């Protein structure tokens, strides 16, 4: 009996529709030197089987010193992917060009919109915040400094949370952008929670600037849990950030 394939049900694709072929690589802390080689390959196949690969083909096993072996495994998985059940944060704001963004701000606020940005905690990696804020920009888009109607205050790296709150107050920030690259021991999550708590504490709810956090290892669905308005993850461009700012700060302010 054949049923027409449902378009939202897919399997991995090797070279034939529905073959379910995947490739993985990993290291096991076991030797594959000399007569241990067979045992090591068997161990790798066992892991692949347990992960759902069947059949699993160990195509490469390389000893790394006496205690470790690196494996590459190809094999078939039988799992189905249902794309109708994938949950993602869809972009819920229109993408604007810098010109449109400037016009919207001018129309709605009749002043420049102030953005304060920083890397907080011990994080010294300003790559992210600079990519978004510096005029140089990222991925072919100019950074927020390029927007005539945005006033950008980039505090740089290793800014403490109290310093950030103080500067945000001083500058009457409409939005605060925080970048976190270092994720060791979940530093990015801890720092973000500390930051959002500090802003909540020192501002009345309706006056608090928009809090935005970004970095390569953030999960975009975590905004609420972290106490911020928006999380941006890997690959976010300055244009997206600017569009989001305009959307939140011009349309919603008008409504309230």
Partner 1 sequence: MSTTGRTSKRRTKLDLDPATVRKARALAKKAGRPIVKLAEQHTTVAVERATLRLAGLEGADAEGTPWVNRLMDVVRADTGLEHGVALPVWDALVRGEAEDLSSLAQKASAGSVTFRLPEGKDAVRARTASRKQVARGIKRIDQRRVERDRLIKRQGDAPRKPWIYLIVATGDIYEDIPQAQQAAREGADVIAVIRSTGQSLLDYVPEGATREGFAGTYATQENFRLMRAALDESGKELGRYIRLTNYASGLCMPEIAALAGLERLDMMLNDSMYGILFRDINPVRTFVDQRFSRQVHARAGIIINTGEDNYLTTADAIEAAHTVTTSQLLNEYFAKEAGLEDWQLGLGHAFEIDPEVPDSFRMELAHALLARELFPDAPLKWMPPTRHMTGDVFRGYLLDGFFNLVGALTGQGILLVGMMTEAVVTPWISDRDLALQNVRYVMNAAGNLHEDFRPEPDGFIANRARQVLGESIDLLDRILEHDNGLLDAIADGTFGLMKRPADRGRGLDGVAKKSSVYYNPASEILEEPFETVASQPPQEPKREKKRRTL
Binding site for partner 1 (CB under 8 A): 25-27, 62, 64-65, 68, 70, 122-127, 130, 134-136, 156-158, 182, 184-185, 187, 216, 234
> Is the CB of 97 or the CB of 122 nearer to partner 1?
122
**Minimum CB–partner distance for residue 170 and partner 1 (Å):** 16
Note whether 142 and 152 are within 8 A (CB): no
What is the DSSP secondary structure assignment for residue 160, as one 8-state letter? -
Note whether 56 and 49 are within 8 A (CB): yes
**Minimum CB–partner distance for residue 231 and partner 1 (Å):** 18
Q: Which position among 38, 99, 136, 254 bears the catalytic label?
A: 136
> Is the CB of 31 or the CB of 126 nearer to partner 1?
126
Note whether 115 and 173 are within 8 A (CB): yes
Known catalytic membership, residue 136: yes
> Is the CB of 126 or the CB of 243 nearer to partner 1?
126
Buried b / exposed e along 116-155 (16+ C-beta atoms within 10 A):
bbbbbbebebbebbbbbbbeebbeebbbbbbbebbbbbbb
Whole-angstrom Cα distance, residue 207 to residue 213? 18
**Minimum CB–partner distance for residue 184 and partner 1 (Å):** 5
Instruction: List, by residue number, the catalytic residues.
Output: 136
């Amino acid at each position: 009996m054949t049923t027409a394939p449902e378009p939202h049900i897919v399997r991995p694709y090797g070279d034939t529709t529905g073959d379910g072929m995947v490739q993985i690589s990993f290291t096991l802390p076991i030797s594959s030197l000399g007569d241990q080689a067979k045992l090591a390959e068997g161990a790798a196949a066992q892991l692949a089987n347990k992960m759902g690969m069947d059949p699993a083909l160990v195509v490469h096993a390389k000893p790394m010193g006496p205690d470790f072996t690196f494996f590459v495994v190809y094999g078939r998985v039988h799992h189905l992917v249902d794309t109708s059940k994938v949950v993602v944060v869809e972009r819920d704001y229109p993408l604007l060009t810098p010109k449109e963004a400037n016009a919207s701000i001018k129309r709605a606020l009749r002043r420049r919109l102030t953005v304060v940005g920083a890397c907080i905690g011990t994080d010294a990696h300003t790559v992210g915040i600079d990519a978004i804020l510096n005029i140089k920009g990222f991925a072919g888009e100019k950074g927020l400094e390029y927007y005539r109607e945005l006033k950008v205050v980039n505090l740089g790296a290793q800014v403490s949370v109290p310093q950030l709150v103080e500067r945000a107050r001083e500058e009457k920030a409409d939005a605060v952008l925080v970048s976190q690259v270092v994720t060791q021991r979940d530093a990015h999550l801890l720092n973000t929670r500390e930051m959002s708590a500090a802003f909540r504490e020192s501002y009345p709810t309706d006056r608090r600037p928009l809090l935005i956090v970004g970095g390569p290892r953030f999960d975009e669905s975590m905004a609420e849990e972290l106490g911020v308005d928006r999380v941006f993850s890997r690959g976010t461009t300055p244009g997206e950030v600017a569009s989001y700012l305009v959307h939140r700060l011009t349309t919603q302010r008008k409504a309230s």
